[in-house]
Structures are given as structure tokens and as C-alpha cells.
């Protein structure tokens, strides 16, 4: 029982600390996230295209999440960056290109067609063709 009691005390202490920290002005040692990290753009059309782009960008420090659904600080910074650039009137494609030139292909979940990725994009068509060819053999030729 003493283990549980000490845990409850520790938890109480944590909450107390948190409340003090967050009371009037949270003394957070880290810089607060940029404005647009968690704030939407006023223009719904621009926000929609920013959001669509964010869902295709990889959070570089997470475990397989897009920056649109990550709690990581870096994802927050990248969200702010995407929203700022879209707000300035840049197209989603040019924002993506800029991020790819900075972080490499790893940052986009939508791999661009290139010498390295053509087998990936060709695969669906090739699979369909092979499958249709195999399936054909199980049909009987129609006799009348």
C-alpha cells in the first residue's frame, strides 16, 4: 500500500507544480510554438489547401505520423511554416518543393515520380495486367 500512497503523493506534487507553472504566466523554458502552429488561417480555402498539404508531409522526428497529426514541436513548427507560406500566396506544390529541397524526399508521403520511384507507381498497373492474364485461364471459352 505504501507504494500506492507515495505514488499518489508524487502525482499530487506533479499537479501542484503544473498548476503553479501554468498559473499567470507559464514559465516554459522552451520557446512557445509559432503562431500558426495551432491556429487556422482565416481564409477557409487557403486553410483547406494548407491542411491537405500538411497531411502529406511527414513529421521527421515522429513514428510514422504526418505533421497534421503530431504533437511534436518540430511538426508544430512545420505546420506554422506551411500556413505562413500558403497565406503569403504560395502554391502547395511550391511549398512542397521547397521542403523537399531542404529535407529530401523523406519529408513527403507522396513520392514524386523519378528514376527511383517509377517501379512503385508502375506496380498497380502491372499487377492488374498480370492478374487479368492469370484469371483468363480459369474461364471456359464460350461455346454455343
Closest CB to another protein among residues 27, 89: 27
Q: Which of 49, 65, 87, 97 binds another protein (CB under 8 A)?
A: 65
Q: Does 82 bind another protein (CB under 8 A)?
A: no
CB 69 → another protein: shortest distance, Å? 3
* Angle subtended at Cα 94 by Cα 89 and Cα 95, rounded to the nearest 5 degrees: 80
Per CB under 8 A, the list member of 20, 24, 29, 88 interacting with another protein is 24
Which is nearer to another protein, 43 or 106 (by Cβ)? 106
Which residues neighbour 93 within 8 Å (Cβ) at sequence distance 6 or greater?
Answer: none
- The alpha carbon dihedral of 65, 70, 72, 73 has a sign of positive
Minimum Å distance from CB 90 to another protein? Answer: 19
Q: Provide φ and ψ at 108, rounded to 5°.
A: -105, 135
Amino acid at each position: 500500500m505504501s507504494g500506492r500512497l507515495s505514488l499518489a503523493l508524487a502525482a499530487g506534487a506533479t499537479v501542484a507544480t503544473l498548476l503553479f507553472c501554468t498559473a499567470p504566466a507559464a514559465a516554459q523554458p522552451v520557446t512557445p510554438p509559432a503562431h500558426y502552429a495551432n491556429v487556422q488561417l482565416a481564409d477557409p480555402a487557403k486553410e483547406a489547401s494548407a491542411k491537405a498539404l500538411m497531411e502529406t508531409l511527414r513529421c521527421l522526428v515522429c513514428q510514422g505520423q504526418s505533421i497534421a497529426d503530431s504533437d511534436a514541436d518540430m511538426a508544430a513548427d512545420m505546420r506554422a511554416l506551411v500556413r505562413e507560406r500558403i497565406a503569403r500566396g504560395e502554391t502547395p506544390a511550391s511549398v512542397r518543393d521547397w521542403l523537399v529541397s531542404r529535407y529530401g524526399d523523406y519529408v513527403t508521403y507522396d513520392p514524386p515520380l523519378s528514376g527511383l520511384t517509377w517501379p512503385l507507381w508502375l506496380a498497380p498497373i502491372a499487377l492488374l495486367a498480370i492478374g487479368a492474364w492469370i484469371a483468363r485461364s480459369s474461364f471456359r471459352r464460350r461455346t454455343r
